[in-house]
Amino acid sequence: MKKRDLLSWKELSRKDIEGLLSLARKLKRELKRGVSHRRLAGKTLALVFEKPSLRTRVSFETGMMQLGGHTVFLGPDEIRLGVRESVADCARVLSRWVDLIVVRTFSQATLEEMASHATAPIINGLTDLYHPCQVLADCLTLLEHKGKLDGLKIAFIGDGNNMAHSWMEAAEKLPLTVVAACPKGYEPNADVVRAVKANGGRVVVTRDVAEAARGADVLYTDVWASMGQESEAESRRRVFQGYQINRDVLALAKKDAVVMHCLPAHRGEEITDEALEGPQSVVFDQAENRLHAQKAIMLWLVKGFKG
């Protein structure tokens, strides 16, 4: 079987997405019923992380254990990609030992270099440009709460970051609309927006929070200052005032709209405690579903949907 990677949603067809979501739902049902699914017994996953993590690390480690496999964690001080050893050499050496590699790194270019030299499948655990695993888990969450993905309006409010990019790529593959409300100078990457639109994706970029939130099925946000932007945190707080999910923004969305956040959250900044803890929040379902979505991804990359 030809090696597959998951570097962004570009690698996924509509059929792949539907297959992954169906498999994730099946694995989740089996886990809840106590049905063992050790379908990756004897396999090893390497986690190559240049950034700290709670959800990505624990969900991948737990998922691989539930699938019967083993995980090796390599943190920033252990591997030092491109410093202690070249990215290409790390990719080729790890591929001789392990069956899957998750890379959580600052640069999409580093991830793509790993993939070009690795013979083991590479999974994007987060880069500056994309976070595909999170959006797959989010889609699983929306299927559970909305019963569908088709026709939904996703209002992304805040920084036009990797999460906004991955949601826009999802709009290229799925019949949903993404409207990103961002301050001037913090819009999503123009090349990403241009490519998605060229391929028929329904995306809108605005500075108007009300335009994004009005009639939305989903209100989505992320932190104003991501990892690596800590020095900008104070200036970003000033710029992003008004780009918050709160009671007033919720009132603009549909009555049954759900509130989503990929976490960690800075309560009182991009989202109020009231919105995060309110009855419309599905934030912690999103976090749980990282486990099930990523198990589906790992199984698909190693064995395919029939594995």
| CA dihedral (205, 209, 212, 218) positive or negative | positive
Residues identified as active-site: 104, 131, 134, 222, 262, 290
**Secondary structure class of 215 (helix, strand, coil):** coil
Cis check for the bond before 188: say yes or no (omega within 30 of 0). no
Say how far apart CA 166 and CA 169 lie, in whole Å: 5
- How far apart CA 266 and CA 68 sit, in angstroms, is 35
Helix (H) or strand (E) segment spanning residue 203? strand 202-206
What are the φ/ψ torsions at residue 268 (nearest 5 degrees)? 95, -10
Residues in the chain: 307
Tokens encoding 40: 């990756």
Distance CA 57, CA 43 (A): 17
- Indicate the SS3 state at residue 218: strand
Given a contact cutoff of 8 angstroms between Cβ atoms, the answer to whether 281 and 132 are in contact is no
How many whole angstroms separate alpha carbon 240 and alpha carbon 68? 44
Structure tokens at 165: 């990019």
45 near 100, Cβ under 8 Å?
yes
